[in-house]
DNA sequence: TTGTTAATGCAACAGTGTTGCATGTGTTTT
DNA sequence: AAAACACATGCAACACTGTTGCATTAACAA
């Protein structure tokens, strides 16, 4: 979706910086972390990057993907998300070699046995391994 | 397992601090973060805590569990782990209310479709929801 | 175009994790 | 049991990540 329309749809002001951030998300298939945004959008204030990411996450434009290492990356949401709820029970792949992270879509959810009294509202799966590029490089 | 035996089994020196850390892991069913260790083992140097956790993780005594928020916790491994490889394809539960994290065991792995050229060696599942104690408190 | 509200930039701070080095302690060897 | 060695610990300082407060600037609505 156009950056302008996407922002307006979520009741956010359309600013140059936000459009650049969205463009960066669009041109990358892999998940992005705040460092990458800082570096690529040259005169980018760290604070603004963090606030932008938080705003986008709260609005349902992007979703948070934790690494196995504890690092956090973000990727664009599909259309189902808004400020009320994220719907991201899809799996993510994390490359142990280059630390790249991507979304894996199109598969059902595994049945989980929870202890009694527990309730679940979101299931995230992280698949760790080696991506195609790193496998070729070996 | 006895702390002494566990440490010796992994070729680590048996020190007071390490035994206290292992005792803390043993007396808690939930995953533990470095802050908790610092606070509970009173005169505990942050650096020593981090190095101890890293040593234990490298040796296969504990495994790392990332929160959806990006925070990192640790829990004891089952017996199959050593310095060469961790085997932790089991799921973890994270309570959105109290931030408690536990291991869920005893279920099979979901089949995952990876893009061609990708290889997987570990699958981690994080179930987010509300634990029994927090559900009761509502 | 003007006024209101939100976004940005800057400075300072807090939390988390790391590195280097000196000192202390566990383990092995004699 | 003592000495020597290697590793573990504690301290100081640092780096990185993320946050808060406040002044300034830009977007949007009237």
Q: pLDDT tens digits for B46-88?
A: 999 999 999 999 999 999 998 888 889 999 987 677 777 777 6
Q: pLDDT tens digits for B77-87?
A: 876 777 777 77
Q: Which of A10-24, A67-81, B23-37 has the lowest mean pLDDT?
A: A67-81
HEC letters along B29-93: CCCECHHHHHHHCCCCCHHHHHHHHHHHHHHCCEEEEECCCCCEEEEECCCCCCCCCCCCCCEEE
Q: What kind and span of H or E run contains A129?
A: strand A119-130
Of residues 19 to 48 in chain B, which lie within 7 A of strand C by their beta carbon? Answer: 33-35, 46-47
Residues making up chain B, counted from first to last:
138
In this structure, is the CB of residue B15 within 7 Å of any atom belonging to strand C?
A: yes
Q: pLDDT tens digits for A104-115?
A: 876 556 677 899
Q: pLDDT tens digits for B93-123?
A: 999 999 999 998 765 566 778 999 999 988 8
Interchain proximity B114–A93, CB inside 8 Å:
yes
* pLDDT for the residue B83: 73
Contact criterion met (CB below 8 Å) for B72 and A70: yes
Region of residue B60 (phi > 0: left; psi between -120 and 50: alpha; otherwise: beta): left
């Amino acid at each position: 979706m156009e950056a302008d329309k996407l922002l307006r749809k979520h009741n956010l002001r359309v600013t140059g910086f936000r459009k650049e951030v969205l463009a960066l998300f669009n041109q990358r298939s892999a998940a992005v972390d705040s460092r990458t945004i800082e570096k690529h959008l040259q005169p980018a204030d760290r604070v603004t990057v963090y606030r932008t990411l938080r705003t986008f996450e709260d609005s349902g434009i992007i979703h948070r993907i934790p690494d196995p290492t504890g690092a956090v990356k973000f990727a664009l949401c599909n259309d189902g998300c808004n400020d009320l709820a994220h719907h991201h029970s899809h799996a993510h792949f994390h490359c142990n070699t280059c630390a790249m992270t991507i979304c894996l879509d199109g598969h059902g959810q595994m049945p989980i046995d929870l202890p009694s009294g527990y309730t679940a509202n979101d299931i995230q799966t992280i698949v760790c391994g080696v991506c195609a590029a790193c496998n070729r490089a070996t």
